[in-house]
Amino acid sequence: MNKQRVMAVGAAVVLVAVLAWLFWDTPAKNAQKPVNPQPAATPLVGSPGAFFGATVELPQRSIAEVAKIETDAQSEVDRLWPHVRKGEPSAAERAKVRVEWVNFSVQHPDNIYIPNEFKPPINAAEEKAVRQQLDDTTALVAKQAAQKHRDRFAQPSSGEPAEVTEQQARDSGITPEQQRNFFNYKIKELESRIQLVEFYVNSDDLGASKKTAAKKELIVWKKELEELVQTRAQVPNS
């Protein structure tokens, strides 16, 4: 019996020693354990890599490379779609436009679409005549619009209202001189438009499709010009 008790006590001592070794922290064990003073943070919704892992960093371009890419792209846009170009024209483009206006003004010095900087100065009498022509044209256009408005509501079933007749013009206080000024301006404007389009049709700046469309417009405008000249000839002298 005493022998069995001694063996039991010895086994208990060995078990206690083993447990003490397992749970007792030693410097060697502490040196092997990785230290993590802060717990891992939970990824926030919307943060990079929250759901799909770390994001792949794209190669960064220098400012010069980005500027060159934008310039090349803009040059291609200007070539394909010049009407939607971005930014101001370059100095070379402005110089080219100035040369074109100079050449055009030499061929058609009386064209009304020529900018003032390319026109010779006019005297006071010429300036007064131009202003009077514009005033007469504006007055007659306004009276025509008012007459058409009255005709449209007075005779709704008669179709398109007719142009202002000679008698209607006299009744409204428009003189023959004002009528001639009106037709002179209309003819001058149409002639200037035709000259300007013909100038660009003969240049290399328009593509084939635009030249075809412009030539069709020229046919219509020249027909209108003939009609205006014939109508002006019917205006009495007094």
In this prediction the pTM is 0.55
Structure confidence at residue 137 (pLDDT): 85
Structure confidence at residue 26 (pLDDT): 52
Give CA separation, 11 vs 3, 24, 187, in Å: 13, 20, 128
Cα–Cα distance, 100 to 11 (Å, whole number): 114
Structure confidence at residue 107 (pLDDT): 92
Return per-residue pLDDT of the chain as tens, 238 residues: 455 665 666 666 666 666 666 555 555 555 555 555 555 555 555 555 554 555 555 556 566 555 555 555 656 556 556 555 656 777 888 888 899 999 999 999 999 999 988 888 888 888 888 888 888 888 888 877 777 766 676 655 555 545 555 555 555 667 888 888 899 999 999 999 999 999 989 887 778 888 899 999 999 999 999 999 999 999 887 6
Burial of 207 per CB tally in 10 Å (0-12, 13-18, 19+): exposed
